[in-house]
Structure 1
Amino acid sequence: MHDTSLILDLLIVFTLSIAVVYIFNRIKIPPIVGFLLTGLLIGPNGFHLIGMEEEVEIFAEIGVILILFSIGIDFSVSKLLNMKRNIILGGSVQVLSTIAVIALISYGIGFEVNVAIFLGFLVALSSTAIILKLLISNGALETPQGKISLGILIFQDIIILPMFLVTPLLAGMSENIVLSVVLLIAKIVGILAFLYISIKFVMPKLIFAVAKTRIKELFFFIIILIALVVVWLSSVLGISLALGAFLAGLIISESDYSHEALSFVEPMRDVFGSIFFISIGMLFDVSLVIENWEFVLFGTLIVLIVKFFSLSLAVFFLGYPIRIIILVGLMLAQIGEFSFVLSKIGLDSGIISFDIYSKVIAVAVISMLFTPLYFEFAPKIALAIGNLKIFEKYNNRAKTEAEPPKKLSNHMIIVGFGLNGRNLTKAASIAGLEYIVLEMNPITVKNEKENGEPIHFGDASNEAILEFVSVKKAKILVIAISDPTSTRAIIAQAKNINPDIYIIARTRFVQEVQALYTLGADEVIPEEFETSIEIFTRVLTKYLIPRQEIERLVNDIRSDGYDMLRSISRRTSYTDIAEHIPHFDVCSIRITDKHHFIGKSLNELKIRNRYELTVLAVKRGSEYIANPQAEEVIAKDDILITWGERKQISEFNTDLE
């Protein structure tokens, strides 16, 4: 008869997980907390519902590997190089300051120097798996705080290797320190060489050869094989499996088939990643916490406070506003999963006793348990603290460190200088529109200022920064960032200062649209909705549907879709009226040399008779001629603002061309 113990254990794990996570979802608690609680209930310190705990730990390790592997695939070497400042400066300041402070505190309360330094190692690491999971699920990986957090986490995963090598030295087990340092340098050089050769010469050819076969199973196997080989080599070199998995993903990311590889990995990542969080819950010993509640409580508070300030210091050195400093400090304040591995090495080598080991595990698990909870409230806390008067001078340093912008009026403010912001500035420059940009990455601001961009450093959710860029006199505010909390705060602040400003906001998901309209946004562009329209357009183009018909259908879908997403309480304009009258629109047309309109009056052109269109206004330079008379003569570079049915506008445009 077959041994079904493992199957029964997995049955218990998944059944209880489904129940707990479903209940937590109903009461708006993050699913990660549900998985942690599941681990507590089924583990040896709970109801001890499963017997094969080692197998669950193996599944958990696979989960960590897959999480980091998928992050590596979705990443790239170019992205990594762009983050070098966050990784090197931010990571080193955080890790070194944490180790120094924890070592001093530990030594002060009676621990030996080597134990104190080792405890600093353990506390310096944050939870890569939990933070990346939360950032991805909240769509915050591309936000400033997401990029900084990822950079610091990557540095922590890299610094694990030296920590592993130094641990025997702290235990007095290594006699040759020079040899250990030489080996460490050799490993780093070896890793960089392996990465370069793999990305440049080996992997592109290998993956292409397999992809040509069009056998999905073979493609899937080669992706897994690459991951296993790199992770195995990492373990042989004494590097953490997580860092090895990230490097494996990074190698695949440079191929043309990275997205296909990611689609294979993601389902497994989600399943095994959930088991990882369950395994963390299984480590929590309630009886130990009760018996040593003073030490555990004091230790947890010390960890959270020290980590918060060391992380805040790191982000301060990176030059970001107070809101981002507070946000990163709160997000990464927990002890990480790789501290469990390092603490086990410390226990085996005799640096720490079993009693200290158990207490460290308890503190680590508690800090991880509460991470998803305060992650939810961190943006609001950071926003509130960032707007305090005591930080006003720091937040307003854009006023003191940069030349004030020239007197602006009727201009456009662009928040964020990512892809959307860059494209918008290019379009504004071509159209001759006056604009100013706000960006929170100090390096981007410095570089773009040198290129002549009217860009300033500052957090647009801060009232003083908005006043600095003359929001009271601005015509349009475009929010081109991917941070939902910051977007809401910016809309509220801008509308409070200038109720008449026209706000266009970017958002990732349709469900966020109504909340932004309620706050006062005039236009909200959900990427999800626009992506569906782009797919629809390309499908029809492939089926050789005429361009005019595609444009008409796209206009209808946009009109119907955005009308459905809008709140009826918004103020209206010409363009809003057009959207509420089926098949009608307002269109602007620039008259150029190739048009036969130049030198003719509106009466001669007979636009109303021929096309059933009404000319609402003529823009000539910076002047608007509203409700133009029939005798008005059209000049070169005039812009005609017309109103009528979309099919007539399309016909009018075609005749002009």
Structure 2
Amino acid sequence: MASVSSELTLIFDMVTVLGSATIAGYVANRLGQPVLLGYLIGGIVVGPAGLHWVVDEEEVQVLAEVGVALLLFALGVEFSLKELLRMRKIALGGGTLQIFLTIMLGGALAYGTGWVSTIPKAIFLGSVLSLSSTAVVLKSLIERNEVQTVHGQIMLALLVVQDLSLGLMLAILPALTQPPEVLGQALLVAALKVLLFIIGALVTGKYVIPWLVRQLALSGSQEIFLLGILVICLGIALLSDRLGLGIAMGAFVAGLTISNVEYADHALDLVLPMRDVFATLFFASIGLLIDPLFLWQNAWIVAGLVAIAMVGKASLVASIVRLFGYPLKTALVVGLGVNQIGEFSFVLAGVARSQELFSSNLYNLALGTTAATLLITPFSLKLTPYLIQYLERLPQLNRWFNLNPEPYSFGLEENLRNHVVVVGYGRVGRTLVRMFYFQRYPILVIDNNEAVLQHLRERQIPYLFGDASSSLVLEKAQLSEAMAMAIALPDPVATRLTLNRALSIAPDLDITVRAHLKDEIESLYQLGAQEVVQPEFEAALEMGAHMLLQLGDSAYAVQQVVQRYRTGHYREILPERAEYWNLKELELAIEGLHHEWYNVTPDSLLAGVTLGAANIRRRTGATIMAIDRHKRFYQYPTGEIDLEAGDRLLVVGSPEEHQNFLKILRQ
């Protein structure tokens, strides 16, 4: 650093931190780890605890503050008041209760054990624990296509309320450092500041910001529009910081003021790349502050704090979600999903240190614990379905936790026959029910969201309230007497489980399944679906059919083209063919399903028999998803392939179906 002039120090530091974060993030991504891990490690490597290339982290912290502002600004633009109001009970009631209880219980535990010496310090530490990571959880939900699931919606509702509370915390918590005789006055002044700022933001957001954004858009210059949006964002953030409310609250309010303007999507589209760059700088700057030697010397303490924080928070959140009437399985998934300490807790911890509420030792422990929980979260979210599935298979725990409660029904007749079962009453499910209803087919709907079922009661349409992937629910749906079944669930794992368990009850049932991603199509067919519909491909086919008709092709020719793509499982319009899919996609396809590998021995009756002739699905209910043969891997094998001695077979099915398969394999 000595060779770098003072004028270039900031540029050197920024390039060094971003370069290190890029390299470490790339390595983490290639190793299948969260890029957040790479950003933190990149900061550690070039920071004071590493190569000493960046020793004045305060300069980088200035740019990291911009990252925080842009993160919350983008969140404000994307914020949907309508969605929050739709989940208002669990969001406002459950979210507020979660924050309050976490602050009280976490602070009381810290104060009672002597970790902190004063009540203000305890409240500040409890506030740090109360926040979860919107960035990490949302990214994980998007990757797993679970944003529209019930547990995904609850997680996001709780996270939005937490993010909203950050501004209030930054405004009110520093007032706790005032002497007792003026504490009440300080809190009142802080509350008035928040109230006046919100009133001013509402007025400005209604009369000033929309006009200003329209003028920027009318300029016709994308550069001027972007600069104007950044000035609005950072200007309001700076104003809120001057009022003692923190940059984060101002940036979020700035996003809210723009969210209702017609150019909001365009503004967000321009800001997102800059947000990602500065957010990377923010996470890498946290790495600069982490001292690996200190964490190593206090490894057991950090591990204990991580365990207490994550288990305690998961238990608290799960209890609150269960209190609001959601099934225990949903409550456990939500609890295990938002049990980390969030990235904005770093901001609160920094404020606590600047107010001398956190000692250097406590600050480093809070920093290390928060970073560890953020890194664990993607893995815990991935393992949660397996944990739930394991608990379901343990009779004692299942009865104790009541993971599969007896489903209750409306209008379900004991002798219901020749009916159509629709699983999932979302946008797709509602359309299907409407079609079958007006065609006068008997219908049975399965869903676990009580809020959407009122319409069915009004129409006197029978339904089962429960988890469709539960064997108890499916058995009560009288599938053996049904004509057909449609699975339109938003959760890919629940979709596969429901399909697999439905066919184990009624092997001949005609089941149509909605696929969420192209990678799921072939695996759903292999699991036994009669028809798999992928909405994006279907939209393309309908658009193409309309255009071909307009171009003069005959209706018969167009129908033949569309039908060819459908009967070919969309393979001809896939970017890559199914046989070249990689193992990671296969792992995702069997996630949540009971699967085992089996060897075909020379004396097995399956050796030398084609997969079609073996008729494994019909005879056992199990499905062979892949064949490993002499270092060659066949995914989703077709009926023409011969089974050979030495083959390793990946089999999916229930425990009973696995036993049936073993009997055939060992004959």
Task: Calculate the TM-score normalised by the size of structure 2.
Answer: 0.75
Partner of 1:73: 77
Partner of 1:378: 384
Give 1:475-554 correspondences, 5 Å limit.
Answer: 475-533=483-541, 536=544, 548=555, 554=562
Matched, 1:99 2:99: no
Partner of 1:63: 67
Partner of 1:224: 230
Q: Shift in Å at residue 554 of structure 1?
A: 4.6
Q: Paired residue for 1:20, among 18, 24, 30?
A: 24
Q: Shift in Å at residue 312 of structure 1?
A: 0.8
Structure 1 residues 159 and 500, CA, compared in 2 at 3 Å: closer, same or farther?
same
Partner of 1:117: 123
Q: Shift in Å at residue 124 of structure 1?
A: 1.3
Partner of 2:422: 414
Q: Shift in Å at residue 257 of structure 1?
A: 3.2
Q: Paired residue for 1:157, among 156, 159, 163?
A: 163
SS of the residue 1:500 aligns to: coil
Q: Shift in Å at residue 288 of structure 1?
A: 0.9
State the distance in 1 between where 2:201 and 2:409 align.
41
Residues 513 and 532 in structure 2, CA contact (< 8 A), matched pair in contact too: yes
Q: Shift in Å at residue 307 of structure 1?
A: 0.8
Q: Paired residue for 1:359, among 345, 362, 365?
A: 365
Residues 423 and 468 in structure 2, CA contact (< 8 A), matched pair in contact too: yes
SS of the residue 1:414 aligns to: strand
Residues 295 and 368 in structure 2, CA contact (< 8 A), matched pair in contact too: yes
Structure 1 residues 325 and 539, CA, compared in 2 at 3 Å: closer, same or farther?
same
State the distance in 1 between where 2:479 and 2:182 align.
64
Matched, 1:316 2:322: yes
Residues 311 and 328 in structure 1, CA contact (< 8 A), matched pair in contact too: yes
Residues 284 and 365 in structure 1, CA contact (< 8 A), matched pair in contact too: no
Q: Shift in Å at residue 346 of structure 1?
A: 2.5
Q: Shift in Å at residue 371 of structure 1?
A: 2.0
SS of the residue 1:374 aligns to: helix
State the distance in 2 between where 1:54 and 1:540 align.
62
Residues 10-49 of structure 1 show CA distances to partners (whole Å, capped at 9, x for unaligned) of 4444544444344433432233333233233233223334
State the distance in 2 between where 1:436 and 1:459 align.
14
SS of the residue 1:333 aligns to: coil
SS of the residue 2:418 aligns to: coil
Structure 1 residues 346 and 9, CA, compared in 2 at 3 Å: closer, same or farther?
closer
Greater Cα offset, 169-178 or 74-83: 169-178
Structure 1 residues 396 and 370, CA, compared in 2 at 3 Å: closer, same or farther?
closer
Percent identity reads 33
Residues 40 and 281 in structure 1, CA contact (< 8 A), matched pair in contact too: yes
State the distance in 2 between where 1:516 and 1:238 align.
55
Amino acid at match of 1:282: L
Residues 329 and 388 in structure 2, CA contact (< 8 A), matched pair in contact too: yes
State the distance in 2 between where 1:79 and 1:182 align.
32
Residues 387 and 462 in structure 1, CA contact (< 8 A), matched pair in contact too: no
Residues 39 and 280 in structure 2, CA contact (< 8 A), matched pair in contact too: yes
Residues 486 and 512 in structure 2, CA contact (< 8 A), matched pair in contact too: yes
State the distance in 1 between where 2:141 and 2:528 align.
27
Q: Shift in Å at residue 174 of structure 1?
A: 6.1
Give 1:467-482 correspondences, 5 Å limit.
Answer: 467-482=475-490
Structure 1 residues 87 and 474, CA, compared in 2 at 3 Å: closer, same or farther?
same
Structure 1 residues 172 and 226, CA, compared in 2 at 3 Å: closer, same or farther?
closer
Amino acid at match of 2:64: A
**RMSD of aligned residue pairs (Cα, Å):** 3.5
Q: Shift in Å at residue 178 of structure 1?
A: 4.7
Q: Paired residue for 2:305, among 299, 303, 320?
A: 299
State the distance in 2 between where 1:538 and 1:207 align.
39
Matched, 1:348 2:375: no
Residues 422 and 446 in structure 2, CA contact (< 8 A), matched pair in contact too: yes
Residues 231 and 248 in structure 1, CA contact (< 8 A), matched pair in contact too: yes
Amino acid at match of 1:28: G
State the distance in 2 between where 1:168 and 1:28 align.
40
Partner of 2:37: 33
Aligned positions, number: 570
Q: Shift in Å at residue 303 of structure 1?
A: 0.9
Structure 1 residues 118 and 252, CA, compared in 2 at 3 Å: closer, same or farther?
closer
Residues 89 and 314 in structure 1, CA contact (< 8 A), matched pair in contact too: no
State the distance in 2 between where 1:297 and 1:64 align.
27
Amino acid at match of 2:127: F
State the distance in 2 between where 1:243 and 1:507 align.
40
Amino acid at match of 2:476: F
Partner of 1:437: 445
Q: Shift in Å at residue 84 of structure 1?
A: 1.7
Amino acid at match of 1:464: L
Give 1:222-371 correspondences, 5 Å limit.
Answer: 222-371=228-377
Residues 211-241 of structure 1 show CA distances to partners (whole Å, capped at 9, x for unaligned) of 4454333433343344334434443454454
SS of the residue 1:478 aligns to: strand
Partner of 2:643: none
State the distance in 1 between where 2:414 and 2:154 align.
32
Greater Cα offset, 154-163 or 51-60: 51-60
Structure 1 residues 55 and 404, CA, compared in 2 at 3 Å: closer, same or farther?
farther
Structure 1 residues 260 and 275, CA, compared in 2 at 3 Å: closer, same or farther?
same
Partner of 1:126: 132
Q: Shift in Å at residue 535 of structure 1?
A: 5.7
Task: Calculate the TM-score normalised by the size of structure 1.
Answer: 0.76
Residues 67 and 282 in structure 2, CA contact (< 8 A), matched pair in contact too: yes
Residues 64 and 129 in structure 1, CA contact (< 8 A), matched pair in contact too: no
SS of the residue 1:370 aligns to: helix
Q: Paired residue for 1:53, among 57, 60, 66?
A: 57
Q: Shift in Å at residue 510 of structure 1?
A: 1.0
Give 1:626-641 correspondences, 5 Å limit.
Answer: none
State the distance in 2 between where 1:107 and 1:260 align.
48
Q: Paired residue for 1:464, among 466, 472, 480?
A: 472
User: Which blocks of at least 5 consecutive residues in structure 1 are unaligned?
Assistant: 572-657
State the distance in 1 between where 2:458 and 2:410 align.
13
Residues 409 and 462 in structure 2, CA contact (< 8 A), matched pair in contact too: no
Structure 1 residues 189 and 40, CA, compared in 2 at 3 Å: closer, same or farther?
same
SS of the residue 2:529 aligns to: coil
Residues 322 and 391 in structure 1, CA contact (< 8 A), matched pair in contact too: no
SS of the residue 1:47 aligns to: coil
Structure 1 residues 107 and 204, CA, compared in 2 at 3 Å: closer, same or farther?
closer
SS of the residue 2:445 aligns to: strand
Residues 411 and 474 in structure 1, CA contact (< 8 A), matched pair in contact too: yes
Amino acid at match of 1:499: P
Rg comparison, structure with higher value? 1
Residues 472-491 of structure 1 show CA distances to partners (whole Å, capped at 9, x for unaligned) of 43333322233222222222
Residues 32 and 372 in structure 1, CA contact (< 8 A), matched pair in contact too: no
Partner of 2:144: 138
User: Which blocks of at least 5 consecutive residues in structure 2 are unaligned?
Assistant: 580-610, 616-667
Residues 106 and 125 in structure 2, CA contact (< 8 A), matched pair in contact too: yes
